[in-house]
Amino acid sequence: MKISREVKTAILVISGILLMVFTINYLKGINILNEHNRYQTQFDYNALSTSSIVTIKGNKIGKVEEISYDDLTGKTIVTIVVTENVKFSTNSKIRMYETGLMGGNALAIIPMPGPELAEDGEFLESEIEEGLITSLTKNFSGISSNLGVTLKTADSLMSNFNTLIINENEDGLRSAIAELNKTIISFRSVSNAMSTLVVKNDAALTSAIGNFDTLSGNLAEITTEFKQVEISKTFASLDNTLQEVNDLLASVKDGKGTLGKMLNDDQLYTNLEMASLQLEQLLQDVKLNPKRYVHFSVFGKKAKQFDAEGNIIEDVKSQPEEIQVELENN
């Protein structure tokens, strides 16, 4: 089948028209390939245009399709086009808000909980959000009324400041500036004196800095030599010494050697305890009966002899003209 040139031209023109319509609607935010729902609302005045966008939670979902004026109610009727897959209840509201300082207004759907979903062509309630410009306009009267008080306060402040500058007393600003100037001059004199001192002692300062560098180098060498000391050998020797001490204590604990036998022999402790007791008894007896153990004989006086129980057993004749000292132990 052969298509004539006229048919091809018609098809091309229709396609161009459809493409232009699609492009225009797409730029307006409407995809004609998708199905849309239309909703209506009303405002007391018109602050919108047919290019105003419609959003929900900040997302663009449609645009204003038609704006008309109702003569009976004096209201502005606004028809919006919204993508069909966006669902919200009939209790939701359409809010007009400002998009920016230089921008226009837009509409936002505020979803509200409700039992029924809004259907195509349904009427929704509207509200207006107070924007920055509106707030400034309402508060401008209050700002202007307080502006006079603010200017009077500023004038009083400037008057007090001028008085402070002109005042030549100690509390005045001029006096404070003069004192600051004196301080700066004094500081300059001190700085000049310090500069002169540094110039005069330049050689000494250079020598001191050189000595400090030498000392730092020596400390660095000492630190390096200290790092090179075989600390591991020292710790190894210390560990061996501690091991030998542990072995010695273990042998003493096991009763080996003289010290071990002395520390672990219970008989030695018993004997020492008995000897201590006997020595104590002997000293006590010497204290009570000194004549039993020590005898002084002059001019041949006889000496008495005692047994272990303290009884006299016989007389011992001493040599004449001789001092005899006898010590007898039990």
pLDDT tens string 171-183: 556 677 777 888 8
Q: Name the pLDDT band for 328 (thresholds 50, 70, 90).
A: very low
Q: What is the mean pLDDT of residues 77-101?
A: 87
* pLDDT for the residue 304: 59
Of 136 and 199, more confident: 199
* pLDDT for the residue 109: 92
Asked whether residue 284 carries a pLDDT value surpassing 60, the answer given is yes
Q: Name the pLDDT band for 16 (thresholds 50, 70, 90).
A: confident
Asked whether residue 77 carries a pLDDT value surpassing 90, the answer given is yes
Q: Name the pLDDT band for 110 (thresholds 50, 70, 90).
A: very high
What's the one-letter identity of residue 181? N
